[in-house]
Every structure is written in C-alpha cells, then in structure tokens.
Structure 1
Amino acid sequence: MVTYLGKLGELTLKGSNLKFFEKLLVQNAKTYLLSVDAKVHLNFGRLYIECEESACPAVEFTLSRLTGITGWAKAEVTEKNIEAIQKKVLELALVEKEKGAKTFKIEARRSDKSFPLDSYSIMREAGNLVYERQILSVDVHSPDVTFTVEVRDKVYVYSDSQKGRRGLPVGCSGKGLLLLSGGLDSPVAGYRMIRRGMTVECIYFHSYPYTSEEAQKKVEKLAEIVSGYGLRLHLNTIPFTQVQMQIKKKSPENYTTLMLRMCMMKVATMLAKRIGADCLITGESLGQVASQTIENMAVTESASGLPLLRPLVGLDKEEIIATAREIGTYETSILPYEDCCVLFSPKHPVLKAPLEEATRIFESLEVEPLLEEAFNNRQLMRFEAAGFVAQNWGTKENTEKLSKDHAVIVPMPQQSQV
C-alpha cells in the first residue's frame, strides 16, 4: 500500500469553521478518486491518501490539482523508533544518489510528543547511516535533496515534496459564472477563483461561421483543463452571430466592441440567475486593451446587476502567461483561432466612453429579443474531473459511466424561459 500526505495551509487558520473546510477538502479528494481504489482521510493537519501502486498516477493527478493544500508527497511508512527511521532514510538516500544527488539535509516534525526524541534530535540522528556510509554529504543550506521525517500516529519519511495549489477547497465560496473566451486571460481568471474555493461554470459566445468550429473546440479544451482544478465545469455555448450583426448594423463603429461586451453581460446575467451563480467573472486586466480602461469597464459592468469579479485586474501579461503555463492552458490559448471578440473590431475604439452615451447607444440597438433568442438556444457541455481520472486510471465498476460523464453535450430546450 502506498501513502500520500497532503499538507494543509490556509485552512488551519479557520478557527471554529475548520471542520467544515476539512470535511469539504476530503470530500473533494474522494470525488476525484471515485473510480480508483483509494482511501482518503484527514488527521491533525494532514490529508492522507492510501492506494495501490497502480492508482498512484490518479492520486498524483488529484493532489497536483486539489485546492486547499500547500504541498504533498509520496511517503514511506516505518516503525516508531530511530533505528527504523535511519534505515528508511538510508533507503531513500540510495535512490536519490542514483538520480544524481550529492548532498542532503534532514527536516523533522514531531506531532506525537510521546516519542522519546524531539524534532532537533530526530534531525540529528535520522541521517547517521547516510553520513557514516558516505552515501551523501551534509549541506543544510542548499542540499540536493531534503529528507523529511514526520512522527505522527505513524512515522512518515519522504524526500520528494511537491507544491500544492494552496487556497481553499472548491465549493466553500459560492458559485461564479466565467465569461470564457479562447484567449490567455479568462482561463487564468477562472482558475484563480477556483483557488479561492469558488465553484465555476462558464459561458462562451460563438459566432459561426465567423468564428470557426476550431475556435469552439479550442474553448472546449480550455474548459476541460480548467475543470481539472474545479472538480467539474459546465460550458454554456451561446450562438451570437445575429447579435453581432445587429451591433455592426446599428452601433457607431467605435462603440461596437463595447456594445458587444454589454450584450455579453446581459446574457451572462440571464444565465447566472438561471443556474444560481452569485457573480460574474471576467479576465479583464486594467488598461490591457481599449475595452479595459476604467471608464469602459464601468460601462461593461453597468449591463449586469450582479457583482463582477476581475481577478486579473492588477496583473500584467507576463504574470498572466506565467500562470497559464503553470496550469496547462497556454499552449491551447495561443492556437490561432479567433473568438467572437475579435470580429468587426473597430480600428479606433472608444477609450473613455461616457456611461450615459453608451447606455443610449445600447438601447438604440433594439437587441433584447436577439439576446433572449441566443440564450434560449444555448448548448451545455459538462466536464467532470472524476470522469477524466476514470478514463485514464479507473478500475471500479462505475468507470464506464464516469468516463462518459467527463464530456457530455446537453442541448437546451428551445422554448426555455428566462
């Protein structure tokens, strides 16, 4: 049996609400692992996952995406005495030497105060065999490898600690509706809100044939990647061709992008109210493009009565790209398939639109019936992280069903009412 440890971070500061967050964290980990043989529990600031060797890839996928932990490691379990600890550290040191390590240090934590050695003594004694047999040299400042010994209900020894996603467990911070495009920004915005514990659903505006099927597939792939961090994700695709043609026909050219943003906000608000979302989320960054000046963002926000969250508002493009690379959306986002925001973009867009003027132009578009029609003809696609795990590593009887649930298209009723 293989044991993994997940380290809690911010959750430990939650005081009287700690049990709620811990329970949710365990529940989320179990959801990822529905199709594999794994046991999940939490005790004294550590998340434990026990599994067979064959399930390790599924568990590592889960821990690398699970929000609410600061780090994780594949640990060796040994007896509660210093001799057993020394032998286990020696075993790990031999493995690390084969990988090219030359220096090491020991870190130790002792939660079980009945253990005869304190943390400092454990650090001093645990590496004795490694040092005496000259397997590795000691370097407490910049070691090639750090061996960690945790004395808890059992003794856990590990050398390969990975960074976690930090943040809060998904599901503790309400629900948000993300305006997802095929660009770099919006997937990162959704990910950042997922890290704050928010359940995220998505809305995407598609203007076929002006936006290609490849553009839609690109967005679906981005939704799939983001769903890996948020447990599950619903992608609502809105047919927006007629709305954009109406904007082109009736709006002053320099206002077309801003009118499109207002129309998107209107439809997104309809959907948010239908699904019970508490807010809208966008990938806007202050001053990045013409529609993202503070004046134009105020106009955009005026089209929705819901809170509008902009988690990237203070980031520059390099910071956004760094996160996109980290979460795996970058390569998909830069594929050369344009979304509907690029269509009919004016050469000289308005930079500081007065709210009153923008509102007057929007009302003159007479676009409300087209917005409702687009909303009623939306299409839903569901992505389940548990389904992805099942497709790749599942072993249980429910694997087939979970695999099918990973990406399911559900057509909306044609006459649904707002």
Structure 2
Amino acid sequence: MKTNTYLLRLGEVTLKKRNRNWFINNLVRIIKPRVRHLDAKLEKRHKKLLLYTEAPADEVRKALKTVFGLVGVSPIFKTTRDMEDIKKTALELVKPHFESQKSFSVKAKRTQKTYPVKSPDIQRQVAEYLFEHGLNLKVDLKHSELTLLISVEFKETWLSLETWPCLGGLPVSSKNKFGLLLSGGIDSPVAGNLIQKRGGYLEAVYFHTPPFTVESAKDKVIDLAEILSRYQNGFNLHIVNFTEVMKTIKANCHDSLMVVLSRRFMMRVAERIMTEKGGQALVTGESLGQVASQTIENISIANSVVTMPVLRPLIGMDKTEIISWSRKIDAYETSIRPYEDCCSLFAPEEPATRASARKVQHEESKLDINGLVERALEQTESIRLCLD
C-alpha cells in the first residue's frame, strides 16, 4: 500500500504546556524548507503534526533526518472509525507480511474515550480478524518485530506498521542563538550539534592564521559548518584573521602560556561577535582533562575574560564517545583531514596545565589587548550557509 500521509511524532515537545505551540511553530518553520521540493503540506493537530505528500517514502525520510524535535515518523493509512473498516484496512496493510515469519502484535489507542470499543477490545478484534484471514505469525506483545499501530482519532482512524526513528531533542529556534568556537577538529562540531539538539541556533567563529594555516584548513572548517547547517535553517560562519594575535603572543609572552593566552583572546573576540548578533552564550568543544589546556584551572582562566555564559557540552565525555557522535553526524571524515588549526601550529612543547591568574595577567600586560581584538574584528569575514 502507498500512502501520502505521515505522522510526525513530537516526543518531548508534547510535555510542554503553555508554550507548546511555540515549539511546534518552530518545528514547522524548520521542516517547511526541507519538504518544499516534495510539494508537501503540514497540518497541525492537538499534540500532533501531519505531513501530506505524494513523494516517495524514501524522499520523505531523507528530508526529515536532520530535524531535531521529532522522535519518529510513521507512514499512516486512514480509514473511518467503523470497526469493520478498521479490520479491512488492517488486513490490506498486514497481508503482504503474512509470510515474513516476524513476531507480531497489535496496539490500539483511542483519542476520544467515548468511542464505544475499548483499546484492548480493538486489539483483540483486529487480531482475530487477521488470523481468520490467513495471518500465521508468532504473537509477541512486548517485543514484536512487526507492530500494527491503530489510533482512533476524533473523525477517523490511523493505522501504521512502521516508525522511522528520528533525532529527538527540541526544535532549533533562531531566538536561542549560540556562538560556537569551531576548529577543524573532531570535538567542536559535536559540541555544536549537541547544543542544536537542545534547540540552540548556532553561529560559528573560526580563527584562521594565514599563511601559517593553509586555505585547505579553512575549507575544511567551511565543510564542517555546512554539516552543522543541515540541522538548522541558515548558518553564519565568521572567519577571524588571527595571525597578528598569535604572532604577538608568541613574540612577547612566556611560551608555556601560549595556549591559555590565545584562548582568552578567542573568547574576547567571539563574545564581541556574538553580542552584536544577539547571542546568548558561547559553546566550545572542551572535554575536561582531554589535553593539557583543558584542565579546570585553564578553563577557569579562559572563562574569566567574558561575561557571556560558556557552554561545554562535551565536558564529561571521553574521546570514544565524541568520535562516535562525530561519525553519527557524518563529520568525522571531514574532521580528520590532515590540516592543522592555529592552536596546533602555535602550541608550545610544554604548555601550562595549571595557569595562575596572576601570571596570565602579567603576560597580558605586555600586550595591547583592545587593539589586537579590534583589528581581529576588522579582519573578520562572514559566510552565510543556507539550506539547499
């Protein structure tokens, strides 16, 4: 059977109360450009969202695979609320699977409790009808491989046999704007994607140091930004020329504090950019203790130069978990391209793992902090990446 109707399962969004419509409207805004080429229409129901399209099911699934806020998508088949029609539609839907040898179950629910047949009785009557008409599958009520879902709605009944798993989380909203410090590595794209999963809309800031970092390194970061842009509608990447900052620190400051000092400048610049863009927080890919610069002391020193909150969604994850998520979002192969970022190129042999505020401030007193920040901002290029 072919259908033109899909139930978009909302998951966590349905737990919202007074602001539920706000979340659903955000979800609709995210979905619309993704299904426009399918000539699709969306319909809002109470705690439900339906999508109508004549496009092939594979195309629908592909279009929705990067949408946070959905926990599943079910192709549904509609019929009346009459039990005989429900049974006949169930038979038509299940019959192609009679010889599949899969375990089977029927699960029913009623949106309107005044419907005269109770849910367990719907399940029993439909199952009996199917077995009377040739179904010979093993019944497994808890862990069936083939589950017929029946939902008796207010004016019609929906039946489905499959639900495609989706990403969960909350729909991305441009009102929740976060600035991701995006390097060319594995960690920061994963950190950004985890923020997107909680409804955060990203803009990314990348620090480029030509001629020390090659154009291929910048191209890699643009490709990573493009991957993240698939999870939201529109994506701004700000590319900061950071060469003067890095050279100045290298020439004037103690080598062991190179990483901490450069990190503080990155925070200052990123905060300025995101303040102008209406950002609410910065996001980094740091994981506690993963490398020398990511000790709690150094993280605290970096945080101290900004007033904007700094979120670190990877803080308790190990590298194996981070790599697994990177593969999941198809970012890993791009992240491991052999082009180093500015932090790697300028990293000292023995970086300070427990930098003190007094020493860091002493080294920074040798620098024109405001001037370096302003000139870096003046040399920032912004790229807009849009959903195709």
Decide: shared fold, TM above 0.5.
Answer: yes
Pairwise CA distance, 1:36: 3.9
Specify the alignment match of 2:124 in structure 1: 124
Specify the alignment match of 1:142 in structure 2: 143
Specify the alignment match of 1:337 in structure 2: 339
Read off the aligned partner of 1:8 and give its amino acid letter.
L
Q: The residue matched to 2:231 in structure 1 has which SS?
A: helix
Q: Cα RMSD (Å) of the superposition?
A: 2.2
Q: Is the 8 A contact 2:186 2:335 kept in 1?
A: yes
Specify the alignment match of 1:108 in structure 2: 108
1:62, 1:260 → 2: CA distance? 40
Per-residue displacement from partner, 1:184-227 (whole Å, max 9, x unpaired)?
Answer: 21111111111222211111111223222222222111111111
Per-residue displacement from partner, 1:264-308 (whole Å, max 9, x unpaired)?
Answer: 111101101221111111111111111111100011111222111
Q: The residue matched to 1:312 in structure 2 has which SS?
A: coil
Count of equivalent residues = 384
- Give the 3 Å change call, closer, same or farther, for CA 162–294 of structure 1 in structure 2: same
- Give the 3 Å change call, closer, same or farther, for CA 352–123 of structure 1 in structure 2: same
- Give the 3 Å change call, closer, same or farther, for CA 124–173 of structure 1 in structure 2: farther
Q: The residue matched to 1:138 in structure 2 has which SS?
A: coil
Structure 2 residue runs without a partner (length 5+): none
Structure 1 length-normalised TM = 0.85
| 1:91-102 aligned within 5 A | 91-96=92-97, 100=100, 102=102
Q: The residue matched to 2:257 in structure 1 has which SS?
A: helix
1:245 and 2:228 equivalent? no
Structure 1 stretches of 4+ with a deviation exceeding 6 A read: none
Q: Is the 8 A contact 1:6 1:63 kept in 2?
A: no
1:366 to 365, 368, 383: 368
Specify the alignment match of 2:231 in structure 1: 229
1:72 and 2:73 equivalent? yes
2:213, 2:97 → 1: CA distance? 51
Pairwise CA distance, 1:39: 0.9
Specify the alignment match of 2:188 in structure 1: 186
1:322, 1:138 → 2: CA distance? 36
- Give the 3 Å change call, closer, same or farther, for CA 86–338 of structure 1 in structure 2: farther
Pairwise CA distance, 1:313: 1.2
Q: The residue matched to 2:360 in structure 1 has which SS?
A: helix
Pairwise CA distance, 1:363: 3.0
Per-residue displacement from partner, 1:6-25 (whole Å, max 9, x unpaired)?
Answer: 12222222222222222222
2:126, 2:340 → 1: CA distance? 58
2:219, 2:98 → 1: CA distance? 45
Specify the alignment match of 1:403 in structure 2: none
Q: Is the 8 A contact 1:130 1:136 kept in 2?
A: no
1:272 to 274, 290, 295: 274
2:85, 2:340 → 1: CA distance? 60
- Give the 3 Å change call, closer, same or farther, for CA 247–70 of structure 1 in structure 2: same
2:25 to 20, 23, 28: 23
Structure 1 residue runs without a partner (length 5+): 388-418
Per-residue displacement from partner, 1:229-257 (whole Å, max 9, x unpaired)?
Answer: 12221111112222222222122111111
2:369, 2:324 → 1: CA distance? 39
Specify the alignment match of 1:348 in structure 2: 350
Pairwise CA distance, 1:45: 1.5
1:127, 1:44 → 2: CA distance? 29
- Give the 3 Å change call, closer, same or farther, for CA 239–101 of structure 1 in structure 2: farther
Q: Is the 8 A contact 2:225 2:237 kept in 1?
A: yes
Read off the aligned partner of 1:113 and give its amino acid letter.
K
1:326 to 325, 328, 346: 328
2:131, 2:247 → 1: CA distance? 74
Pairwise CA distance, 1:50: 0.6
1:72, 1:299 → 2: CA distance? 45
Q: Is the 8 A contact 1:237 1:378 kept in 2?
A: yes
1:198 to 200, 206, 215: 200
1:306 to 291, 305, 308: 308
Q: Is the 8 A contact 1:67 1:195 kept in 2?
A: yes
Structure 2 length-normalised TM = 0.91
1:329, 1:97 → 2: CA distance? 41
Pairwise CA distance, 1:114: 4.3
1:240, 1:273 → 2: CA distance? 19
- Give the 3 Å change call, closer, same or farther, for CA 291–36 of structure 1 in structure 2: same
- Give the 3 Å change call, closer, same or farther, for CA 21–246 of structure 1 in structure 2: same
1:53, 1:267 → 2: CA distance? 46
1:217, 1:224 → 2: CA distance? 10
Deviates more, 1:26-35 or 1:89-98: 89-98
Specify the alignment match of 1:151 in structure 2: 152
- Give the 3 Å change call, closer, same or farther, for CA 115–280 of structure 1 in structure 2: same
Q: The residue matched to 2:52 in structure 1 has which SS?
A: strand
Read off the aligned partner of 2:341 and give its amino acid letter.
D
Q: The residue matched to 1:364 in structure 2 has which SS?
A: coil
Q: Is the 8 A contact 1:131 1:138 kept in 2?
A: no
